[in-house]
Amino acid sequence: MPKQILSAGEERMKKSVESLTKEFANVRTGKANPAILNNIVVEYWGVETPLYQVASISAPDSQTITVKPYDKSLVKTIEKAILVANLGLNPNNDGEMVRIPIPPLNEATRKDLVKVVKKLSEESKVAIRNIRRDVIEQLKKQEKDGVISEDTLRQYSDETQKVTDKYIAEIDAKAKEKEQAIMSF
């Protein structure tokens, strides 16, 4: 039973790290990354539809993203949706596709983006620690109910801490990697 509690907690920690990775994909680095458009939705036949479902999104070079809709009537709608998303991008519409030049980041913008990365990573660390607390509380409840011994509680609490440390180190590594990508020119 304690193994199941620990493995369920570890699975939740893994999902927290995966969520952070997705959040980091939305943070600009000064290089063209189609993932920054993942959260944009456009109205297509009266239905709010994610941009990637109605268009082909690519980065032909490090300073440009192209969005080629499957239905050419969507070009203006896509251009407007990108502007409304407030990503600091100025899309250009050539009638068939939308080209988005990625402006180079200035020093102040880079520092602001690093702050965002630090905030996101700290929120993930808090989530990991909350999961650790939940796992240890479940283990203490089992010990109180007489299901496991005090030694078993201590052993699994130590294991939980090791798993927690592993995922926090992984978050720190991802945050450092993203910060380097943002600060590199």
CATH code for the domain in which residue 125 is found: 1.10.132.20
Question: What's the total number of domains in the chain?
Answer: 2
Q: What is the mean pLDDT of residues 139-159?
A: 92
pLDDT over 80 (residue 60): yes
Residue 164, pLDDT score: 97
Q: Are residues 113 and 178 in the same domain?
A: yes
Q: What is the mean pLDDT of residues 10-17?
A: 96
Per-residue pLDDT tens digits for 71-103? 888 899 999 888 888 777 889 888 899 999 988
Single out the residue in 71, 101, 131 at which a domain terminates.
101
Nearest to 166 by CA among 6, 14, 12: 14
SS (H, E, C) the chain: CHHHHHHHHHHHHHHHHHHHHHHHHCCCCCCCCHHHHCCCEEEECCEEEEHHHHEEEEEEECCEEEEEECCHHHHHHHHHHHHHCCCCCCCEECCCCEEEECCCCCHHHHHHHHHHHHHHHHHHHHHHHHHHHHHHHHHHHHHHCCCCCHHHHHHHHHHHHHHHHHHHHHHHHHHHHHHHHHHCC
Q: Are residues 59 and 46 in the same domain?
A: yes
Q: What is the mean pLDDT of residues 39-59?
A: 90
Q: Are residues 143 and 165 in the same domain?
A: yes
Residue 185, pLDDT score: 63
pLDDT over 80 (residue 44): yes
Q: What is the mean pLDDT of residues 59-64?
A: 88
Q: What is the mean pLDDT of residues 23-49?
A: 85
